[in-house]
């Protein structure tokens, strides 16, 4: 291993080609991952705002709020289950909103009952605005939003970040939501005592998975965690499938690049390896040196690739949904190092076949 490290330090230019290739692949992986995470986070703010709680939909809705309807009797049944501290309504509708002198934007208007770690308690007659809405129309607490086709005025009580669902969102109490929908789009208003979805606040230290199973045992009910609801969204499924396929293919290319490079460099070193074997070096020692070189080159490529990616993403237009998430960077780092090690092991067969007597002549 030490011989491999020393060679890398003394002749770094010899590894420049594979280093450049790996750096480009790291940049590609990082940007693709940034787009995937950005698109998903941009679509799922309302669900992530309910982390630590359960979302309940009608069983036939496939956990999609726009297809779901739950009545008062079902809400009462849910409230009686052990482990449930509170039950609140959650409704949504596509609408429009603007400040008094601002641009009209497409929004998703939510009606809700229960506060979360992200959402404050619903204002009695005001609204909670997503920061995307606030930034687009320069809206702040105390300003008035004009919501819906009938220009319903709503005073912004507070601005909360990261609540987008593709479009900016505005949150009002359930009663206010029904009032606005009844005026602007009465055909979309659920019947009295019917809500699209329900939010379950569990008792402290409750096991959400067990509680979800208990609630789902009620006829006509599907209870899921926030992450379960996100996984049910068709747009998230489609985006994940597409981007993860491209990312997986990029890892395969990374593997092939490393395997080809070290196969060629091993071919050039046959004489050196023969001498090392003749003086007692084992195949394990030689492969450890090759793998150590692969790890070092991939580590340098990761540092350079992450740095270049950060610069590149910062110069992209602000409206592009690209986000660098630490967990994604960690996955890329582990994936690149792992594929580099596996790629370097493709040289094992050639190293095993080296006969010191034949190679030296």
Task: Annotate 13-36 with three-state secondary structure.
Answer: HHHHHHHHHHHHHHHHHHHHHHHH
What's CA 288's distance to the chain center, in Å?
A: 36
Over the stretch 129-157, which tens digit does the pLDDT of each residue have? 998 888 877 888 888 888 888 888 899 99
- Measured distance CA(36)–CA(247) in Å, rounded: 10
Report which listed range, 132-136, 151-155, 207-211, 321-325, is most confident. 207-211
Handedness of CA 216, 220, 226, 230 (dihedral sign): positive
Over the stretch 222-240, which tens digit does the pLDDT of each residue have? 999 999 999 999 988 888 8
Of the candidate ranges 161-175, 222-236, 265-279, the one whose mean pLDDT is the lowest: 265-279
Of the candidate ranges 20-29, 43-52, 60-69, 232-241, the one whose mean pLDDT is the lowest: 232-241
Better-predicted residue by pLDDT, 351 or 195: 195
- Measured distance CA(277)–CA(200) in Å, rounded: 67
Beta strands 152-160 and 126-130: pairing type? Answer: parallel
> Given a cut of 60, is residue 328 above it in pLDDT?
yes
Q: What is the pLDDT of residue 57?
A: 96
Query: What value does the mean pLDDT take over residues 100-129?
Result: 89
Contact 43, 330 (CB under 8 A): no
The pLDDT-based confidence of 181 (bands split at 50, 70, 90) is very high
Beta strands 54-58 and 70-71: pairing type? Answer: unpaired
Residue 361 half-sphere exposure, CB side, CA atoms within 13 Å?
3
Report domain extents, the chain.
Answer: 2-43+236-360, 46-232
What's CA 33's distance to the chain center, in Å?
A: 8
Query: What value does the mean pLDDT take over residues 67-89?
Result: 94
- Measured distance CA(272)–CA(359) in Å, rounded: 9
The pLDDT-based confidence of 121 (bands split at 50, 70, 90) is very high
- Token reading at 308: 């270049």
Name the helix (H) or strand (E) containing 224: strand 221-225
Q: What is the pLDDT of residue 298?
A: 92
**How many other CB atoms are found less than 10 A from the CB of residue 178?**
18
Print burial letters for 140-170: b (CB count within 10 Å at least 16), e (below 16).
eeebebbbbeeebebebbbbbeebbbebbbb
pTM exceeds cut of 0.85: no
The pLDDT-based confidence of 73 (bands split at 50, 70, 90) is very high
């Amino acid at each position: 291993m030490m011989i491999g490290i020393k060679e890398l330090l003394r002749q770094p230019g010899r590894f420049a080609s594979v280093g450049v290739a790996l750096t480009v692949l790291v940049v590609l992986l990082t940007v693709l991952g940034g787009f995937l995470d950005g698109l998903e986070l941009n679509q799922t703010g309302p669900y992530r705002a309910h982390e630590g709680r359960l979302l309940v939909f009608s069983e036939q809705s496939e956990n999609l709020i726009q297809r779901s309807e739950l009545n008062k009797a079902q809400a009462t049944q849910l409230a009686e289950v052990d482990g449930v501290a509170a039950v609140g309504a959650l409704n949504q509708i596509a609408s429009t909103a603007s400040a008094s002198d601002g641009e009209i934007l497409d929004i998703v208007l939510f009606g809700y009952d229960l506060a979360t770690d992200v959402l404050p308690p619903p204002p009695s007659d005001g609204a909670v605005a997503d920061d995307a809405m606030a930034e687009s129309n320069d809206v702040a607490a105390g300003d008035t939003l004009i919501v819906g086709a009938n220009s319903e005025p709503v005073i912004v009580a507070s601005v909360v970040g990261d609540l987008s669902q593709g479009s900016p969102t505005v949150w009002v109490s359930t009663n206010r939501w029904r009032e606005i929908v009844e005026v602007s789009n009465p055909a979309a208003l659920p019947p009295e005592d019917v809500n699209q979805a329900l939010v379950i606040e569990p008792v402290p230290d409750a096991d959400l998975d067990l509680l979800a199973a208990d609630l789902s045992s009620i006829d006509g009910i599907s209870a899921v965690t926030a992450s379960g609801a996100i996984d049910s969204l068709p747009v998230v499924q489609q985006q994940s499938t597409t981007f993860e396929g491209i990312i997986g293919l990029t890892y395969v290319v990374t593997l092939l690049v490393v395997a080809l490079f070290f196969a060629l460099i091993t071919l050039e070193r046959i004489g050196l390896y023969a001498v090392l074997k003749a003086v007692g070096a084992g195949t394990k020692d030689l492969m450890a040196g090759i793998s150590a070189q692969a790890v070092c080159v991939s580590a340098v490529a990761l540092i350079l690739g992450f740095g270049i990616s950060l610069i590149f993403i910062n110069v992209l237009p602000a409206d592009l949904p690209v986000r660098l998430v630490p967990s994604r960077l960690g996955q890329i780092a582990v994936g690149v190092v792992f594929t580099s090690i596996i790629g370097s092991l493709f040289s094992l067969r050639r190293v095993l076949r080296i006969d010191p007597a034949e190679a030296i002549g």
